[in-house]
Structure 1
Amino acid sequence: MLVPPSPLPPHVDWDGLTSLSTALDALRDLMLSDVLLDVPIFVMGQPPLLFAASMYDEDMAMLRHRIPVDVNVVDNHGFTALHYAADSDAVDLVRALLECPDVDVHATTEDLSVLGHVESGGRTPLHLASLRGNLAIVEALVLHDASVLSDVDWDGNSSLRLAQLHGRTSIQEFLQVPNHSVI
């Protein structure tokens, strides 16, 4: 059982933060309550921002300012909230995370095996946005820190190469603009 701070908002289900079926509702209630937390909380073993991002709940993740967070916490796949935001086309969340002074745009994933299909590790949020074909997120990441263009995954693929391999024409065109190139 979680030990919540006092006083407890009566509508927050503290035990609900430990069950997948109730975690989103309990976290939403907590984040929208008037309680100020001075101790870290975890939802399903993850910090609130990472949990909300991993559930692809952009609105919930945008409430992150209600609870102190480390934006670079990783899950067991090496994903940060920025990875999940880029992978789920959550443009507003990507932009909000890029405003955090300590956000790591170079953080890389681990290998991910889903139903016998292995996704190569070493991917940054830019790699994921390029694969998804989300130009707005690619632009935001590159304009935030153009050095991400030189990052390669564990197979040696740059974000541009992944865009080429997957037919993401608008991403290719943007990444090939000379002032974005990193030599």
Structure 2
Amino acid sequence: MGCSPEFINQIVSRVHEEFFSRGKVMMEQNSVVDHLYFIGEGKLEEVVVYEGGLKEEILELKPNDSFGDVSILCNIPQPYTVRIRERCLLLRIDKQSFSNILKIYFHDRKKILNNLLKGKEGNVHMKPMVAKIKAQIAMQEAHLALRVNSATYNGDLFQLRDLIQAGADPNIKNFDGRSPLHLAASKGHEDIAHFLIQVGVEVNISDNFGNTPLLEAIKSGHEKIASLIINKGGSLMINDGGNIMASSAERGNPNSKDYDFRTPLHVATLRGSYGLAKLLVKAGANVLSKDRWGKTPLDEAKLSKNERLIKLLEEATTIQLSDNTSTSQELLLVTDKMTRRKCTIYPFQPWELPKDQNKYGVVLWVPYTINELIEKAADHFKLDLPSTSCILTEEAGQILDVNMIIDGQKLYLITT
């Protein structure tokens, strides 16, 4: 794999020619290397000395080969001795100049490292060196991903453009599997999203959680970026095999939820975005889905006072309820169970053990009001409900709002 012409030109402008006679040792095994050499004429040999003094010739070096690169690139002592076999013309560049060039043309660094692996992976004596080279490749990839995604996240178009023009992969992913386009769509950086699409990034690419850039844009309410991605064939969801599940965004699955159980349709309707809401409804968004506070997308639309949007969701609600009543009811039940929390209610005070040791609690879904929870628990235990009835925590604190309840929390019904 060849290096870029720009990188090669920089190297050529900084090398110095030197002639060396037969038998001269250019580099000693385990020595510190401060120069990289390219062979113009002649032949050299690489010799490694193993424990016990046993010598083994590893490789003959010929014109166009190089040496000293492994030590410099991997920051390790010279792994073998290099000795001249016949009179040579060598081109020499110092370590500092070479390292400075690599900082600019970092993509060529990976090409060089990959080239160094050729012919070495099958040699048992080369295993430590191969491991060092692969570690350097992995470190470079991680560092480059950090730089690219950091520039995208912070909205630094100029730095991102420089990195990509220097050879960085515009589709490179971070530890969550998110590409630069995911980040631009999520943060609302329109100029960066436009630039990434111009350079040909993959618009239908999923992160580790199955989210595509289009879904990120919709969830974050960035309508212009969503429209831009749609125009390039963006999809809402990709299946596990990496294939687009729909030929267009209108056939995806947009019912993912955030920490408040809000779907992209909740966000779109709260912002009054008719275009995004229409797209999501066509894609199969569940208009009956409730957030943490029991609100549906239609409830959010009414807050925006967008009559066109309200009409769209009212029609969608009617269709989803009437199209298949049993299916709609099952979907609503499943949605509620996935989003709501559970709690365990005990019919005694938290600071007292029950006289009846066999008296168990009951696990209930947390409803939308504290009064509903009290009534459900009392109904299960067949208890009367005086006006002073309340729900307490294990620390004897009174719960006033169901949003204070943690999923799986132990609570106590007080009716005395």
- Identity of paired residues, percent? 22
Counterpart of 2:174 in structure 1 is: 42
Quick check: which one's helix share is greater? 1
Secondary structure (helix, strand or coil) at the match of 1:66 reads coil
Cα distance per residue 1:81-121 (max 9 Å; x no partner):
524335122241463233853554111112xxxxxxxxxx1
Q: CA deviation at 1:57?
A: 2.1
Aligned counterparts of 2:170 and 2:229: Cα–Cα separation in 1: 26
Q: CA deviation at 1:24?
A: 3.8
Aligned counterparts of 1:38 and 1:28: Cα–Cα separation in 2: 10
Kept after mapping to 2: 8 A contact 1:85/1:93: no
Matched, 1:164 2:302: yes
Give 1:106's match in structure 2, choosing from 235, 255, 276.
255
Aligned counterparts of 1:28 and 1:180: Cα–Cα separation in 2: 48
Larger radius of gyration: 2
Counterpart of 2:183 in structure 1 is: 51
Output aligned runs, 1:20-169, within 5 Å.
Answer: 23-29=156-162, 33=165, 37=169, 40-42=172-174, 46-58=178-190, 60-61=192-193, 63=196, 66-67=201-202, 69-70=205-206, 73=209, 82-86=215-219, 87-90=221-224, 91-93=226-228, 95=230, 96-98=234-236, 101=244, 104-110=253-259, 121-145=260-284, 147-169=285-307
Q: CA deviation at 1:7?
A: 5.1
Secondary structure (helix, strand or coil) at the match of 1:108 reads coil
What residue ranges of structure 1 are gaps of 5+ in the alignment? Answer: 9-13, 111-120
Q: CA deviation at 1:132?
A: 0.8
TM-score w.r.t. the length of structure 1 is 0.63
Which residue type is aligned with residue 41 of structure 1?
K
Q: Which has the higher contact order (CA 8 A, sep 6+)?
A: 1
Secondary structure (helix, strand or coil) at the match of 2:320 reads coil
Q: CA deviation at 1:41?
A: 3.2
Which residue type is aligned with residue 182 of structure 1?
Q
Aligned counterparts of 2:159 and 2:253: Cα–Cα separation in 1: 29
TM-score w.r.t. the length of structure 2 is 0.32
What residue ranges of structure 2 are gaps of 5+ in the alignment? Answer: 1-102, 113-143, 239-243, 246-251, 322-416
Secondary structure (helix, strand or coil) at the match of 1:177 reads helix
Q: CA deviation at 1:73?
A: 4.1
Compute the RMSD of aligned alpha carbons: 4.2
Shift in CA distance, 28/46, structure 1 to aligned 2, threshold 3 Å: farther
Which residue type is aligned with residue 227 of structure 2?
D
